[in-house]
Structure 1
Amino acid sequence: MEPVPPTIRADDPTLPDVLALLGEHLEDMYATSPAESVHALDPRALAAPGITFWTARDAGGELLGCAALKALGPADAELKSMRTGTAARGRGVGAAVLAHVLAAAAEQGIRTVLLETGTQDYFAPARRLYERAGFVECPPFADYVLDPHSVFYRLTLTASAGRAASSTGPTAARPAS
């Protein structure tokens, strides 16, 4: 039987189950990176204007993962707080959330999505996910600076990237040629 895709929707980063997942996220970031190289946002920051926060939930409402998109300008945004819960890893949740966020970004007129992630082995699955989605390494952006513990990525979206491919939700945005 095919796994049921998660339901992905804009949500409140201060809900109790989301707070637990974000707490796990921040704890892992500080356990794997020096404090000066941790750029994760806390729940209050994720609720700020200019940030859209999504959760992925299973059919029973259990939280599987989350991500946020932070506006950097009229056509640029940063992917933040991309996290799949430990129990949901390896089930395609991260890919589904990323595809949803990229499609939503394209629908909002975003042309470039940028992100920062870690260089440590812990972050290798995330880097592979981003690279499979078409992200390419780029120089630091916004307020970031060169850091041996960080790698920066960018994806240029096409105008048609927001088109849905099925009834389960938006597809992954396609990189521009």
Structure 2
Amino acid sequence: MPLEIRLDDVAVADTRALVTAHVSGMLENTPPESCHALDADALVDNGALLWSARVDGELAGIGALSPFGEDAGELKSMRVADGFLGQGIGRAILRHIMTEAQERGIRTLWLETGSGDDFLAARSLYASEGFVECPPFGSYRDDPLSTFMMREL
């Protein structure tokens, strides 16, 4: 399975559709007041960089990095397309973003994800890549439906 991960643009139709599906999926499992997923336009407005992973040209997943302070970044919009689940795409995107972040001078990565059972796979992936739970950061507030994690690079 040749996997290509590259910077992408939310104006690309399939990429935008997967960002939209990501936000919709988050809202299915999380009430709006506890959902921190950004839509495509908000990712752009936040200055996020968005990567897509493609297998033989087909969109397999996305992940974004939003600036957070001078030498930190926040992972956003990590999503694997349904047809590619369980194939290591999420891990590949995460590792790619960590490498890119480090090359860009980012020393700490932060993230917020859900705390419920529907988010167990995501939390397990992050923990297996060295992320540890931490208190809320930035403008986030303590929320029983959120898990906050960070990792030094």
TM-score range relative to shorter protein: over 0.9
Given candidates 5, 10, 15, the residue that maps to 1:8 is 5
Distance 1:9 1:92 in 2: 16
Which residue is equivalent to 2:17?
20
The Cα shift of 1:18 comes to 1.2
- Out of 48-57 and 27-36, give the one that drifted further: 48-57
Distance 2:91 2:61 in 1: 10
> Is 1:135 the counterpart of 2:139 in the alignment?
no
**1:26 is matched by which residue type in structure 2?**
V
> Is 1:67 the counterpart of 2:63 in the alignment?
yes
Given candidates 87, 93, 101, the residue that maps to 1:91 is 87
The Cα shift of 1:35 comes to 0.8
Q: Please give the secondary structure, in 2, of the residue aligned with 1:77.
A: strand
Distance 1:78 1:128 in 2: 18
Distance 1:34 1:45 in 2: 19
> Is 1:30 the counterpart of 2:27 in the alignment?
yes
Aligned residues: 153
Q: Which runs of 5+ in 2 are unaligned?
A: none
Which residue is equivalent to 2:116?
120
Greater than 3 Å deviation, 4+ residue runs: none
Which residue is equivalent to 1:40?
37
Which residue is equivalent to 1:175?
none
Rg bigger for which structure? 1
**1:33 is matched by which residue type in structure 2?**
T
The Cα shift of 1:49 comes to 5.8
Partners of 1:115 and 1:153 within 8 A in 2: yes
CA RMSD of aligned residues (A): 1.0
Which residue is equivalent to 1:151?
147
The Cα shift of 1:50 comes to 2.8
Q: Which runs of 5+ in 1 are unaligned?
A: 158-177
> Is 1:110 the counterpart of 2:120 in the alignment?
no
- Identity, in percent, stands at 46
1:28-49 C-alpha deviation (Å, 9 max, x unpaired): 1111001101101110122236
The structure where helix makes up a greater share of residues is 2
Which residue is equivalent to 1:55?
52
**1:16 is matched by which residue type in structure 2?**
A
TM-score (norm 2): 0.97
Q: Please give the secondary structure, in 1, of the residue aligned with 2:45.
A: coil
